[in-house]
Amino acid sequence: MTEPIKIRATLQGDTTDIRILMQHPMETGQRKEQGTGKLVPALFIQTFVVTANGKTLVDGQLNTSVSRNPLFAFKARGLKAGDKLVVSWLDSAGNKRSDETSVSS
């Protein structure tokens, strides 16, 4: 679960196409282990934040209904090539991850 967040931010005219892949198992707490039949404990990303040059673009909340390794895509205006994007998440067990990239042209 410590794999980096994959972030792609590409400038296309006056908008930036942003794609984020968060590496996380996203367990619902309803799946049973094969063989033992024990429930796998819930473990999911609760909150995530996307910032550009320190300014919040997205501040989201997730729950157990989101699939493993969630992918998010959106467009933003006002960014320039070289601007710094940071994506951070916090999961239900208190684990955190934060990664950054720069907008490319």
Note whether residue 29 is domain-resident: yes
pTM of the entire predicted model: 0.92
| Inter-residue contact 44 to 28 (CB < 8 Å) | yes
Decide if 1 is inside a domain. no
The whole-angstrom distance between residue 101's C-alpha and the CA centroid of its chain comes to: 13
Domain tally, the chain: 1
Per-residue pLDDT tens digits of the chain, which is 105 residues long: 579 999 999 999 999 999 999 999 999 999 999 999 999 999 999 999 999 999 999 999 999 889 999 999 999 999 999 999 999 999 999 999 999 999 999
Residue 39 lies in a domain: yes
Domain, as residue range, for 39: 6-102
Q: Mean pLDDT for the chain? A: 95
> What is the per-residue pLDDT across 64-94, written as a single tens digit (0 to 9) for each?
889 999 999 999 999 999 999 999 999 999 9
Alpha-carbon torsion angle 21, 80, 100, 57, nearest 10:
-70
Q: For residue 65, what pLDDT is reported?
A: 86
Q: What is the CATH number of the domain that holds 83?
A: 2.60.40.10
Measured on CA atoms in the order 35, 38, 39, 40, is the torsion positive or negative?
negative
